A = this chain, B = another copy of it.
Amino acid sequence: MKLIFSKSDLLKSINISLRAVSSKTTVPILKNILIDASGQEIRFLTNDMELAIETTVPGSIIERGKIAIEARTFSEVIRKLPDGLISIETNERMVATITCEKIIFTLPGLDGEDFPHMPEVDRDYSLGISQFTLKEMIRQTIFSLNMNENNKLMTGELFEIKDNYLRLVALDGHRIAIRRLALGGNYEDRKCIIPGKTLNEISRILSDNIEDRVEIFLSANHVMFCFDETSVYTRLVDGEYFRIDNMISREYQTEVLANRREFISCLDRSSLLIKEGDNRPIVLNIIDGFIEINIQSSYGSLSEDLDVEKQGKDLRIGFNPRFLGDALKVIDEDDVHIYFVNGKAPGYIKDEEENYIYMILPVNVL
């Protein structure tokens, strides 16, 4: 095999491929990028057994072939080469020689015959949306997952198409994050649960340009994201997702309109008094015109008044300040509406159209 690339093209493709290389795997071949130039195109394949990525790399095939190279070293080597043309050539002992100007690296490779195949995903059902929009919806929900949870259903997000809306839902037992997008087309209702890890990795390679599209193919056990020169495959989480809609109350006794940044600054300050596993709640005393905010720990105390517009009953309620802050930080609006039922029921941060809903369970306070 002999291939020639520009450094920038090669590096871009390697960066995409690395998202599906696990450093922790015990299967040596999975630490590799499979360079497959046995056909008309050069393709890089990586697979960590949950996520698989295939990307087509611009470059010239001087001689066809195939080799698997340890991904981290390969990536570091290419990164440290000067800008310019890079050739990769293999010999019969599966050693790759990487040449750039007067620099010659050799790296041992594997023939890649035992590299796992990409899953077969049928293409009956698909959905096309903006890459940037998908990336944003992931960012605005994924913090509510608990990826270390034993309950597998909490390690993935609900991905639901219903009444021509796409809805992403993440929850961890203390809070729920929901983002909704009007699809502008006619789609059959469908739902599946996509692993949080996949969403995390894919959001790092999706484009920031709202014009760029991603096509999402859903099948019984897999989902495939196709965009630019890249396809990302992932296995779905098995099981029936939680009945979210039954958990959302709409009978509120207290409603406040607060400045988002001021509220976040106050929560940031309160976090200074909570260290390592100390779960002190922040106490909100909601009265006309402002919220008296209070937190006490062994490190000290903070009290602060936050100006708000308030309707309905006065209320005293406690929260984990991190959960409030996580939700407020991913909202784009300057002002946010927060709704409460009573001191023992969840609080809801949401917009009027319910394009986003963040539900947070309260913490008991005296």
Q: Which residues of A contact B (CB under 8 A)?
A: 70, 73, 76-77, 80-82, 102-108, 265-266, 268-269, 272-273, 299-305
Contacts and interface: CB of A to CB of B under 8 A. Distances in A.
Nearest to A304: B103
A100 B273 CA distance: 17
23 contacts: A73-B272, A73-B299, A73-B300, A76-B272, A77-B269, A77-B272, A77-B300, A80-B265, A80-B272, A82-B265, A102-B305, A103-B266, A103-B269, A103-B304, A104-B302, A104-B304, A105-B269, A105-B300, A105-B301, A106-B300, A106-B302, A107-B300, A108-B299
A80 B76 CA distance: 38
A268 B108 CA distance: 20
Nearest to A75: B272
A277 to B, nearest CB: 17
A302 B299 CA distance: 54
Contacts of A301: 105-106
A308 to B, nearest CB: 13
Contacts of A82: 265
Contacts of A105: 269, 300-302
Nearest to A300: B107
Contacts of A107: 299-300
Given A80-B265, A265-B80, A104 B303 contact: yes
A28 to B, nearest CB: 14
Given A77-B269, A80-B269, 8 more contacts: A73-B272, A73-B299, A77-B300, A103-B303, A103-B304, A104-B302, A106-B301, A107-B299
